[in-house]
């Protein structure tokens, strides 16, 4: 059941970034940096880089993290929650928080890439450990 906590932390991260994006969009419209009509079809003007970066990050939070959520659900329903899987899950979440921080602040591309790659390796590890546990006779409820 403890696998729910890192999942909750990922949900908090995603919602926080969406709220930050909304605040930045509102401020950009208020400060006349972008016409509100741009958001009808996301065309017709040059989107400020700060908005483009955070919009892209929100999209990113609905890409590979979906595989994390599915993996966590599988861990939960198969009863495979253990210290190794929990550690991997928390490390994945920490890597994603760090990736978000870098992307939305300095946006240092190589640092961001390394953190993304680390999170991908952790995600693959989570799935690999789960598969080994299930194939080697782990109990499936």
CATH for 4-135 (3.10.20.30, 3.40.50.2000, 1.20.120.550, 2.40.50.430)? 1.20.120.550
Phi, psi of 21 (to 5 degrees): -60, -45
Burial 2-23 (b: 16+ CB within 10 A, else e): ebeebbebbeebbeebeeebee
The pLDDT assigned to 115 comes to 98
Percent of the chain with pLDDT over 90: 82
User: Domain extents for the chain?
Assistant: 4-135
Q: Could you give the angle at which helices 109-135 and 64-78 cross, rounded to 10 degrees?
A: 30
The pLDDT assigned to 18 comes to 98
Cα(100)–Cα(59) distance, integer angstroms: 12
Give residue-wise pLDDT tens across range 107-131: 999 999 999 999 999 999 999 999 9
Percent of the chain with pLDDT over 70: 97
Give residue-wise pLDDT tens across range 61-81: 999 999 999 999 999 999 999
Mean confidence (pLDDT) of the chain: 93
Give residue-wise pLDDT tens across range 37-70: 888 787 777 888 999 999 999 999 999 999 999 9
* pTM for the whole structure: 0.92
């Amino acid at each position: 059941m403890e696998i729910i906590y890192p999942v909750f932390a990922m949900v908090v991260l995603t919602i926080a970034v969406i709220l930050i994006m909304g605040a930045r969009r509102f401020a950009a419209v208020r400060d006349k940096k972008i016409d509100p009509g741009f958001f009808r079809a996301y065309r017709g003007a040059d989107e400020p880089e700060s908005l483009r970066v955070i919009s892209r990050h929100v999209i990113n939070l609905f890409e590979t993290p979906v595989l994390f959520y599915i993996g966590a659900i599988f861990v939960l329903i198969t009863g495979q929650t253990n210290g190794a899987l929990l550690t991997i899950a928390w490390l994945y979440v920490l890597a994603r928080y760090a990736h978000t921080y870098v992307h939305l602040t300095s946006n240092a591309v190589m640092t961001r890439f390394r953190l993304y790659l680390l999170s991908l390796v952790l995600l693959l590890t989570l799935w690999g450990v789960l598969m080994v546990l299930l194939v080697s006779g782990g109990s499936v409820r």
